[in-house]
Amino acid sequence: MILFLARFLIKNHDQVDSPAVRQGYGMLSGAFGIAFNILLVIFKMIAGALSGSIAVVSDALNNLSDVASSLVTLIFFKLSGAEADKEHPFGHGRLEYVAGLIVSLFIILMAVELVQTSVLKIFNPQAITASPVVILILLVSMIVKLIMFMSYLQVAGRIGSTTLKSTAMDSLSDVLSTGIVLLSLIIFRITGHNIDGFAGILVAVFIIKTGVDAARDTINPLLGEPPSKEFIRDIMNTVLAHDCVLGVHDIVVHNYGPSRIMMSLHVEVPSDKTLLEVHDSVDEIEKELHQKYHCTAVIHMDPVDDRDLETIRLKNWLALILEEFDPGLSFHDFRIVRKPETVPVIQFDLEVPYKYAIDENTLVADIKERLYEMASHYDADITVDHSEPKV
């Protein structure tokens, strides 16, 4: 539904990489949530008053917290779209993650209150009424929340928003929690057993899990998390498509909010190219990355001699050594540094998985020892880079 409304309310709605368009989707989603959740609160409060059920009232209060969450989403999406300034030179995009964190805290706090109220209801049960009107209200609210879940999920996928994904999962949790409340009323209507308090606790458990999951999804980008493998692969394919590039490594992506990215990377280039040729090519790559990902890219050039037979021989020998040690190891930026009156040096970066079983210094020493067996007249300079395990 939100995507349908976006066609009429958001200018250039299909340009989802634009910060302005993204902001429009976020604010529209917030307004959508406020309107529908207010309606749900009203109808569930009526149902709670008619039935006398604490579980129904708890479910209504859960939707009231959703109103506050939607309001936070709307406000923070508006603020996150502000341009960069002197105090925040990389923009305000991370406010979207802050909004997600606040939403998750709302969810958890409301759930804790529901647990307390439900426990009291267990020890002090009160009569409830499971009328057809109450059951109908809950059924309709489940359908509405299911529509909201699908709408939020579609928008989250469209603009890549963890905040709206968390909101979508909260809506799905609301469907399940309302279903539990509905089931407890049906059980009471059929059997006369009052499990209202227990149903309220079960609803709260669902809500707490949703809040914790939402908090984790927003805290990770705030602390700094690695980009997806798909994103790194796409960057590598984009850069390697240029004829001057022999290899890509050390890709670092800094996320200052969706559509606000800074990245740095190393590209291996032929050493026989002039500095001016390589510089022009790197400029083209940086411009392409900016156009494709709306990012600022900084590229470091690593000259590689891809024609020297001795370099090729030693690279092949190193590949065999690492294969013997562990297929999960790899290397890049391999070169031989030759200076007058000094021993030539084999330099390369060794990629080692995080939390590797072997101590780094021991690993480097063992690899150097194997290299000296083939190239005793060389020294070796190995820089350790950490990476995800190869699969």
Which residues are CB-contacts of 58 (< 8 A; sequence separation ≥ 6)?
114, 117, 118, 181, 200, 203, 204
- What's the whole-number mean pLDDT along residues 97-106? 77
pLDDT value of position 257: 66
First to last CA, the chain: 40
What value does the mean pLDDT of the chain take?
83
Residues 134 and 180 in one domain: yes
Other beta carbons within 10 angstroms of residue 102's beta carbon come to 19
Same domain, 216 and 97: yes
- The residue out of 283, 304, 325 marking a domain boundary is 304
Distance CA 345, CA 335 (A): 8
Domain's final residue, options 273, 304, 335: 304
196 and 256 inside one domain: no
Is the same domain home to 37 and 165? yes
Choose between 268 and 64: higher pLDDT.
Answer: 268
CA dihedral 109, 110, 114, 117 (to 10 degrees): 80
Task: Assess contact for 173 and 43: CB atoms under 8 A.
Answer: no
DSSP state for residue 127 in the 8-state scheme: -
Structural domain span for residue 30: 2-223
Q: Check pLDDT > 60 for residue 391.
A: no
* Residues 64, 149 share a domain: yes
Same domain assignment for residues 91 and 137:
yes
Element (H, E) at 278: helix 275-293
Do 256 and 374 reside in the same domain of the chain? no
Query: Mean pLDDT: which of 74-78, 112-116, 236-240, 304-308 is highest?
Result: 236-240
**pLDDT recorded at residue 35:** 92
* Number of structural domains found in the chain: 3
Q: Could you tell me the CATH number of the domain that includes residue 151? A: 1.20.1510.10
Q: Find the mean pLDDT for residues 350-367.
A: 88
310-326 pLDDT, tens digit per residue, is: 888 888 989 999 998 88
**Cα(171)–Cα(151) distance, integer angstroms:** 10
Residues 129 and 210 placed together within one structural domain of the fold = yes
pLDDT at 284: 93
Is pTM beyond 0.85 here? Answer: no
Is residue 91 over pLDDT 70? Answer: no
174 in the same domain as 151: yes
If asked whether residues 218 and 198 sit together in one domain, one would say yes
User: What is the pLDDT, as a whole number, of residue 388?
Assistant: 65
| pLDDT tier at 89, thresholds 50, 70, 90 | low
Residues 51, 162, single domain; the answer is: yes
DSSP state of 382: E
Report the pLDDT averaged over residues 41-64: 81
Cα angle value 131/133/137 (rounded, 5°): 120
Q: Is the pLDDT of residue 217 over 80?
A: no
| Integer Cα distance of 91 and 94 in angstroms | 8
21 vs 147, higher pLDDT: 147
Whether residue 81 sits in one domain with residue 148: yes
CATH number, position 355: 3.30.70.1350
